[in-house]
Every structure is written in structure tokens, then in C-alpha cells.
Amino acid sequence: MAWRKPAGREVDGCAEEAAALRTGLVREVVAGGGLTDPAWRAAFEEVPRHLFVPYYYEAGDATAAAAPPGAKTAGAAGTAGAAAGTAGAAEAAEAGEVDAAHGTVGYTRLWRDDPHPLRRARWLAGAYADAPLATRVRDGELITSSSQPSLMARMLQALQVRDGDRVLEIGAGTGYNAALLAHRLGDAHVTTLDLDPEITEAARNHLAAAGFRPAVVTGDGARGCPLHAPYDRIIATCAVASIPSAWLGQCRPDALILTPLATGLIALRVADARHAEGRFLAIPAYFVPLRGSGPPPRVPTHGLPSRPLLDDSFRFLLNVAAGHMEPVEALALWEHEGRPGRERYGVTVRGERQWAWLDDPEGAYGWPLGPPGRLEPFRGLSPGAP
């Protein structure tokens, strides 16, 4: 049976309206085929997302003349506004995101303490839209976001948690995903980790405001969190180019690792500290890279006709094989193999070696994960490889 916890005290006076919006969001996700597990449905119904996004950014013209009175725009010149001393403004300023003279151009900030009632209503409605929310933007670059709720629901269900499981989340974000996990499993079974102390501090405050107190740790996501290991599940909310060995080493046998990789979600079943294997989920997933891991490999498209580039399954193959296969060869493979979807691909980890593959880890097509090297598909490694 799912572990339940009260949603906590809502200090901003919009509890009733937020509850109605939450009900609408859950209905929308369910109608789309998500939240089939009653325990996760209860978590989404009861955890108040708006407490985790006291402000967020909408992309657009930062100097739009149509902005109502009291509008705050990241990067707009002028004073910080009449409500600059509120908690939302203070948190944003400490994160380096509200700077009257040198802020980010092109994003409009919506926040819970905006003095204009229509903009506050817009903020609350956006918090319960089935859409990702940009929560930290620096110098025009997206640093963190709160993922689309329907995608979060699919990821959490794919994690296949059981009562009593210990879960490590890589990428604390706003703390909302950790709250959903804590609602399902209990505070003591959840650890969330992020490299940026400002992010972990904000996540800790959001969680406390909603009535949850899982472990919130500042550290390098690639190194995991040995303090609370071993884990039954690891879920990452940031993209990796390869599977960090520390994650496997901190898992119990038969644990599951779910992480974004190459615009997809790979679900790896862990055999031991050196071996894991699994397939991609069918759904696309676009996440910011793991902080400190460097930019993702460049995906070349030279020599390609435009039509295949409009197909998501071909773009996924280009990402999987980036740096290891010429684009025209990828196109020939994709067409020859019947335009395979994500679910036909997988990943194998054997000691220091790890590779992505199509259909079979020992089959004809595989690509090493990590820095670019090979420029063609290679046959699967021998079964005796470490």
C-alpha cells in the first residue's frame, strides 16, 4: 500500500484554487494514459506543485509593452518592484536570476507574490499546466526546470518502486519529484542530490513548506551518494552521455536505474557493481545535461535530406550514434531496419565498457557510450568481455 502524507500547510492563501487546478491536471494526465498506479495518482493529487515553483520563467519578449502593471521581466531595466522584499523575490535574487541591469533577456518571470492579481493567477495556472517550467535561467541559458508532469508520471511508474525501496534522485531541481517519491515511499527512503548548493537549499525549503523532509544532499551527481547507499532505484532528471560507474556500485543487485540518455529514457537492470543492461522506453525525453559533465556530443546532419530529420525516431538514432557514425550511414541503417523506434534500442554495461545497441546487445549494430571515437557501427562485444 502506498505511504501517504499530508500535503503540508500552504502559506500563500491559494489552497482551494490550487487543489481544483491539481484535480484538473491529474484528470488530464490520466486521460493521456498516465497515472495508472493509484499510489502515484494519489501523490500527484496531494502534493502541491505550486509550492515548488514560487517563480518560473516564460520564454518571450522581455520588453513586451503589453505586460500588465507590476510585471517582472528577467533582464528588464528598472527597479525590482514594490514586492522585491518577498520570499519569492529574495530566493530569485540569491540565485542570481533577478538583476535589474544585467539579467536574462528573453524570459518573463511569473511569481506568486506579484502585486498584479491577473499575473498571480497566471502563475498559479501555469504551475498546474501539463508543461515543463523553466525555474533557473542564467545569461540566457536554462539551468534547471520542473519537468512536464505527464512525463514525470511516466518516469515514476517506469521506476517500478516497491514499498520499502530506497531511491536516489540525481538532480534535485525544485524538489517536486522528490516530494512525489517521499509521498509514495516515506522521507527516510528518499535521497535527492544536486551539484549546486543554491538548488539544494531551495529544494529543501520547498520540501519543508510542503511537509516533506527527505535527505537533500549537495554533491556531484556522477558520484552518487554513498552516504545513504545501497539503493533499490536510481532516477536521474538530467541527461548523461554514459552511465556513471558509481551508480552501479551504489545499487543492490536487481536494482533499476532510470536515466535520460540521447533524447530517450534508458531503464537499466543492475546485476552487480560492474554489469547492467536494459532497453529504452518508447517515449522521447529532453533534459538538460548532468551538471559538470560537459556538453553533449555534437549531432552532425551534413549530407542528409530534410525529410528524415523531421522524424523523431531518426533524430534519436543520430543522437545515439553521435560521433561514432556518419549521418548518411545512420540514414541507411534506419531505413534498412524499418525505421526503428526507441524501444528497439538498449544499453549494456560490462565493466569499463558500455554501449548502445539496436535489437540485440550482441547484434550487428552497437555504438560505444562516452567520448566520440568510432565512425561506424561495430558488432557487439564478445560474451566473455569483462
| Grid coordinates of 173 | 531541481
Q: Are 288 and 358 in contact, with CB atoms under 8 Å apart?
A: no
Name the phi and psi angles at 152, rounded to 5.
-60, -40
Which residue is listed with cell 552532425? 300
Q: Are 138 and 104 in contact (CB under 8 A)?
A: yes
Give the amino acid at 374.
R
Q: CA-based Rg of the chain, rounded to a whole angstrom?
A: 22
Helix (H) or strand (E) holding 145: strand 141-146
The three cell numbers locating residue 68 = 500588465
Phi, psi of 336 (to 5 degrees): -65, -35
Concerning whether 313 is annotated as a catalytic residue, the answer is no
From 199, 203, 157, 154, select the one nearest 39 (Cα to Cα): 157
Structure letter (DSSP) for residue 54: S
Q: How far is residue 363 from each of residues 177, 313, 355, 358, measured CA to CA in Å? A: 37, 19, 12, 7
What is the C-alpha to C-alpha distance for residues 243 and 368, in angstroms, rounded to an integer? Answer: 11
Q: List, edge to edge, every strand of the sheet that includes 55-59.
A: 72-74, 107-111, 55-59, 133-138, 141-146
Contact in structure between 225 and 191 (CB atoms under 8 Å)? yes
Q: How many degrees, rounded to 5, is the angle at CA 169 between CA 165 and CA 171?
A: 175
* Alpha carbon distance 149, 165 (integer Å): 22
Q: At what angle do helices 149-158 and 38-46 cross, to 10 degrees?
A: 140
Q: Which three cell numbers stand for residue 42?
A: 494519489
| Backbone φ, ψ for residue 207 (5° rounding) | -60, -45
**Identified catalytic residue from 145, 146, 147, 150:** 147
Mind telling me the catalytic residues? 147
